[in-house]
Structure 1
Amino acid sequence: MATAPVLDPPTGRRPLPDIEPDRAGTGERVLIGLFTGVPFLALFAAVPMAWGNFLGWVDIALMAVFYLVTAAGITVGYHRHFTHSSFKAKRPLRIALAVAGSMAIEGPVINWVADHRRHHKYSDKEGDPHSPWRFGNDWKALTKGMFWAHYGWLFDGARTSKRRFAPDLLADRDIVRVQRWFPALVAASFLLPALLGGLLTWSWQGALTALFWAGLVRITLVHHVTWSVNSICHTFGKEHFEARDKSRNVWWLAIPSLGESWHNLHHADPTCARHGVLKGQVDISARIIWAFEKLGWATAVRWPNQERLAAKRVG
């Protein structure tokens, strides 16, 4: 006997599928490997080059600035604003956050949001695009799963449906434009540090070292810190709040992740604008949102509710 299709209760219509019918092709996977692998290779050269004349204060300053801007583009922009609507942003800030997140080279904004919303819908269960528990819970399966959650899932040909998981962003013409600009923003993420390095030192060497440190090295650091939230923060750490998955808090990732590694609270209360809510839990992204609010650029910020936190507290 044929099974009747599942209907979406609010509308009575067939729900859209989670996955788009077309899969990522070989060319797209090659580009993913190129733009994630080449910056990673720079790490092998970073230590010997730092001992020579290939690292100066201009390089350090530019790397720090571009790291903060692009990492916050992911944490404050892609994650807390676009994915979870933790705050409303004035139109110039909204566009700037989409641009900054794109320059982290983790994918176009609408794709990233769709993937992350699907992750929350199925967190650590079948359907989660990057759970480390995908293959089981013994040490061999978990080792394989952590690699999958950290990096391997990027090469999965399945594409999350943007129409199902991000219709609000597809309806935003400005964000769709930023989505289309993604290749140009990838180029800018490399070229801007080189240009500034060259101008600040007035030399070709300054441009080259800035490209290396504030371009290649910075990008791979942002990548692997972000992906560590997928892998490490769903495997190790402490559980301070009740969540329906295996999300955990990892204190030593808090500063490089700008507060994203307080991941247990995030999964317990996904729309909360602050993830580090307990004493001593540094959350740089929350401070950035606080500054935006004070400047009048962000409104309707969903700050922690003490009663809701107390109800979810464990231990």
Structure 2
Amino acid sequence: MKNVSERFRAAYLGLLENGELEQRVRIARQHLQSCDLCARYCRVDRLRTTQGVVCRTGDRAVVYSYGPHRGEEDVLRGCNGSGTIFFSWCNMRCEFCQNWEISQKGEGREVEPEQLAAMMLDLQARGCHNINFVTPSHVVAQILAATLIAARQGLKLPLVYNSGGYDSPEALALLDGVIDVYMPDMKYGDSVTAHRYSHVRNYWEFSRAAVKEMYRQVGDLRLDDNGLAYHGLLVRHLVLPAGLAGTENVLEFITREISTETYLNLMGQYYPCYRAEERPELARPITAAEYREALDIARRFGLARQDRISRRGRLL
């Protein structure tokens, strides 16, 4: 299987050639001085402190791990894996987070942009099909700085932005023409539930606006002859017990305001993690019937482009 970079040109290479990518790096760093690079709008000067910053990340990104990931969507992992970079900390506080040691405890190490760029180039050298930024919303400026360095040194792979959907328009404007594949997780279909379980405000409003902008930038997901994604939108949605994720609202929004050709990963692997046991309604896996109901909703709305990984949930 050929790497997609051998046939399709990554979006950011055009911005590198005309000098726009370097300009984006400068602008993004300025945003860190009164940070609006996620939907929390904390306005803290992250070049000086992490006090008052929910993401607890300052000037340097914190990376937990990186490497080829063969558990991602089929269209990303291919034969050689998706080149994932797991960022520590998060701009959300999900009480059922399955990676809470990374997102809530911040395990990992601070890296300079040059080190982050070296990781990207190493993943390319190891044959990965893309660079997959996991939990990137709070490190947009750092990602741009590293991309500039890596692109100057020969990076050609598509970039995947794998976020929780709580992204600001300011951040997405800086990423326009840089990111090849957007992969937001639309976690909830209403903001009240999002505030209760993930401690964020106006999630549904920000998530819808973010996905609309992502789609405007990249359109429907496009695959090469090997079935590998190289450009476009892929939406994830984790089915929660008792319909708490608002699956019908999410899928109706995608159908009516994005596209019936949206590539969807309807995830059935929920199980109680982190603080979920403290919430009786979250303290169990989803049932097979609940997952089938979610699939039926997707079929009813005509969302037929679904990833096979969505069927691999641990169900009762």
Give the alignment's TM-score, normalised by structure 2. Answer: 0.27
Which structure has the greater CA radius of gyration?
Answer: 1
More helix by share: 1
More contact order relative to length (CA 8 Å, sep ≥ 6): 1
Give the alignment's TM-score, normalised by structure 1. Answer: 0.27
